[in-house]
A and B are shown apart, each in its own frame.
Chain A
Amino acid sequence: MTRIIDRFEIAPNVHACIVDAKDIARKALPGQFVIIIPDEYSERTPITIADWDPQKGTVTFIFLDIGSSTQKLAELQPGDEIYSFTGPLGQPFEITKFGTVGLVGGCYGIGGIYPAARAFKETGNTVICYSEARSQFLLYWNDKLEEAADEVRYATTDGSLGYKGHAHDLLEQDLKSGMKYDILLAVGCTFMMYRISQVTKPYNLKTIVSMNPIMIDGTGMCGACRIEVDNTTKFACVDGPHFDGHKINWGLILARRKAYLEEEIISKERHNYGES
C-alpha cells in the first residue's frame, strides 16, 4: 500500500499525484515509470514518473483520467492508499552531453519531459521544450518547464498560447527555418510521437520516443508490450520504453493499442453506474 500525499487536477481531466514512496524516490531516473493498481479490481497501469524528491521521499506522476483504472485513481484523496505501486521500471533516458536537446511533451508527457529537461540542463545541454495541448487551459507546469529549460515553445490547436497548431507542425517550421538539434525526445500520446518521428526523419534528426503500449507485469515476464523496432520484436518494459522513432513499426502499435476499446467502455460504464 502506498499513501497519497496529494492528488489534484492540474488541468481539466489531468491529475498530479504525489505519493509517499521513499525507496522509489531514491532510485528514480528520468524516463522511468511505475506500475499502479489503484484498487484490488483495477488493471496494472504503467505511468511515467514526472518528478521525485529523494529527501522528502516523494514521487509525483501525472495521469489522464481516461480508463476505469485511472478514473479510480482520480477519485482517491490525500491520505488514501494505492493498492499497489511498483517502480522504478524501464531503462532511463540516456543523459549525456549531446549539445542541443529538443524535448516534446503532450498530455501526460508534459510532466514526462520535465525530469529530462532538468537532467539534460544539469549535464550542460541547451534544452528546448515543446509543450502542446488543444488549448492554453490544458497546459500545465509551464513555470517548472521554463525554469528547467532554456526555452519553452508552446503549441495549441486553438492558438490560445504560442503557435497555432500541433507541436509537430511547430517543430517542422523550426527545422525548416534552420533550428538545429542534436537529439530529440518525445513523450506523450502515440499519435503525437508518430507525427514527431515523421517530421524529423527527413532531417535525419535522431528521435527517441517513450513508448506506452499495454503492459501487464512490466517486469519482463508476460510479453504484452512487444513492439517491432527495425523488424525485431522488443519489449517496452525491459528493453524500453525508449526507442528510435524512425525504426518503429507504428502501424502495429496504433492497432495494438486499440485491442481492448470495447472492454474499456464496458468497464467505464459499469464504474460510472456505481459498480466496482
Chain B
Amino acid sequence: MAKVSPTKTPMREQPAAERIRNYDEVPFGYSPEEAILEAKRCLMCKNPKCIDGCPVEIDIPGFIQFITEKNFKDGITLLKEKNILPAICGRVCPQEEQCEKECILGVKNEPVAIGRLERFLADWEAEQGEIELPPKPKSTGKKIVIVGAGPAGITAAADLVRLGHKVDMFEALHEPGGVLVYGIPEFRLPKSIVFREIHYLEKLGVRLFTDQVIGKIKSIDELLKEYDAVFLGTGAGLPWFLNVAGENLNGIYSANEYLTRANLMKAYLFPTYKTPIVKGKRVATVGGGNVAMDCARTALRLGAEKSIIIYRRSRGEMPARDEEIHHAEEEGVIFQLLSNPAAFHGDENNWVREVECIRMKLGEPDDSGRRRPVPIPDANFRMPIDVAIIAIGNSPNPLIPSTTPDIETGKWGNIITDLETGKTSKPGVFAGGDVATGAATVILAMGAGKVAARGIHEYVMKKGKKE
C-alpha cells in the first residue's frame, strides 16, 4: 500500500492579489485526478467516526470509496441520499468542527479533505448537464408548507418531497436561498450554484413562491387550513448594534444590510444594478465571525484601500472558521484585535469619519469558556474610517412571532422548538434554523431542517391514521 500523504491534497485557488479585484469564487475545486488522490488518503475505517461528526449523517467513507474507483456517478447518488445540497455544504460547512474533526488521520496528520471531496462530486455532477432525478416516491396525499427558502427550509423541503409529500415553499424576498443568497458573498458561494440546487428541488416537485411575506399576506392559522403541517425557517431578524454614540451616522451599516446590498441586490455591479453601496476607502468591520470576514473581504473587492476587522478579544477566540480568517489575512485584511468601538464620530454632513476604540485585555473565562475582554482605562484611540459595518449578530426574524401570538418564544424572540422533532408550541407548526436558535451556521440550520422534516413526517402520517 502506498504511503498516505500527511497533508491534504492542496486545492488550487485564485492568488490573493488577483482575487480581491473580482467577485469570482476563490478556490477552484479539485480536478478528478486530485479528487482521487485525496480520496485514496481515506483509511476506510470499519467504524467511521466521521459520520458521527456529520449533522446530516452522510455515508462519508461510502462516497469516498466510489471516488477512489472513479465512479463519480454512484458517489454523488450516495451523497445525495443524505444531503440534497452537496455543492453548498462542500463550500460552507465548518468541516474542521464536524466530520474532519473526527477523522482518524487527523490525530497525527491532516484529516481527509471531506468537504473538498463533497464539493468535487457536486460540481462534477453539474458539469454532466441534466441532473438525473431519483424515482418518484409514492404520494402520501399530505400537503406541507415551508416558510422561508433558506438552508433550513430547502433541506426540510428536500426531505419531505422525497418522502412523497406535496411541498409548497414561500419566500419573502424576490429570490430564494435566504442567507445563501443575500448573505454569503458570490466569491465564497456562487449564486448560480444555489439556484441550481433550488431548481433541482423544483424538479423534484417542490413549488416555490417568492415575494410572499407569511404573517402578513397569510397567517399561520390560514396556512394550517390549507396544509397538514407548517415548517418555519424564517431565519435572521433585526441586526444587533453596539449601542454606542454615533452609530446611526451615514456610512454605518449592519452586516445584513451591507451584504444584502452587495449580494442580493448586486451593488457590486452598480450602476448596472441600481442599488448603491458606499465604497469606502477605509472600512472597519466590527466582529469576529464568518459574517465579519465576509464583510471585510467584500469591502476589499469594492475598492477599499484598508479593510480593518475590529474585534474585542484576541485571534484565538474568534468564532470565524480558520479558513475564512486565513483567506481574509491573505487578502490583506487588517486585524485590530483587543479593541472595541466606544463611539463613532462624524462630520458636519452626518457621515462617519472616525471610530473611537477602547483597548481591551483578556480576563477570566466567561460562560462560553472564552476569556472575557476587559477594558483598559484611559487607553482609547481613534482611527479614520469612512464606512463601518457592525457584524455582531442578529435576533431571530420577528415577523412570525409578532403575527402569531400563540407561538411560544424565548428571551431573544426565538421560536421555541423541541430539539428531537422541531415541534413548536403550536400544533402542526415546526421550526428550525436561525429563527429558533438565533444567528448560527448554515449547516446547523440544515441539520434543524432535517430533524424537523422527520418530525413533520411522523406527525402528518400519524394524523392521517387518526382521522
Contacts and interface: CB of A to CB of B under 8 A. Distances in A.
Given A85-B211, A221-B238, A255-B250, A216 B274 contact: no
A264 B278 CA distance: 12
B260 interface: yes
Interface extent on A, as a size class? 35 or more
A217 B173 contact: yes
Contact of B271 (A84, A217, A222, A270): A270
B217 A24 contact: yes
Interface in B345-362: 349-350
Interface in B156-211: 172-174, 182, 210-211
A223 B217 CA distance: 22
Interface in A1-40: 23-24, 27, 37
Contacts of A41: 272-274
A235 B276 contact: no
Interface in B395-430: 397-399, 402
Contacts of B272: 41, 275-276
Contacts of B182: 217, 221
Interface residues of B, number: 42
A240 to B, nearest CB: 13
B238 A223 contact: yes
Contact of A220 (B251, B274, B398): B398
Interface stretch (A86-94, A116-124, A173-181): A86-94
Contact of B218 (A23, A216, A235, A252): A23
A88 B212 CA distance: 10
Contact of B217 (A27, A43, A69, A221): A27
Contacts of B342: none
16 contacts: A23-B217, A83-B174, A87-B216, A217-B172, A217-B173, A219-B213, A220-B238, A220-B397, A221-B182, A221-B237, A222-B257, A224-B253, A226-B248, A233-B248, A259-B278, A267-B270
Chain A to chain B: the 10 pairs with minimum beta-carbon distance, closest first: A263-B276, A255-B350, A84-B174, A223-B254, A222-B257, A223-B239, A86-B211, A259-B250, A222-B256, A260-B276
Interface of B: 172-174, 182, 210-213, 216-218, 235-239, 241, 248, 250-251, 253-254, 256-257, 260-261, 265, 270-276, 278, 349-350, 394, 397-399, 402
Interface of A: 23-24, 27, 37, 41-44, 68-69, 83-89, 216-217, 219-224, 226, 228, 233, 235, 238, 251-252, 255-256, 258-260, 263-264, 266-267, 270, 275-276
